[in-house]
Amino acid sequence: GESVGLHLPTLSVQEGDNSIINCAYSNSASDYFIWYKQESGKGPQFIIDIRSNMDKRQGQRVTVLLNKTVKHLSLQIAATQPGDSAVYFCAENHGGAQKLVFGQGTRLTINP
Partner 1 sequence: DGGITQSPKYLFRKEGQNVTLSCEQNLNHDAMYWYRQDPGQGLRLIYYSQIVNDFQKGDIAEGYSVSREKKESFPLSVTSAQKNPTAFYLCASSVPGRGDYEQYFGPGTRLTVT
Residues interacting with partner 1, by CB under 8 A?
1, 4, 9, 32, 34, 36, 41-46, 49, 51, 89, 91, 93, 98-100, 102-105
Separation CA 12–CA 91 (nearest Å): 22
Of 53 and 112, the one with the shorter C-beta distance to partner 1 is 53
Q: Which amino acid is at 10?
A: T
Q: Which amino acid is at 43?
A: G
Min. distance of Cβ 4 from partner 1 in angstroms? 8
Q: Are 73 and 51 in contact (CB under 8 A)?
A: no
Of 3 and 18, the one with the shorter C-beta distance to partner 1 is 3
Q: Are 71 and 4 in contact (CB under 8 A)?
A: no
Of 10 and 18, the one with the shorter C-beta distance to partner 1 is 10
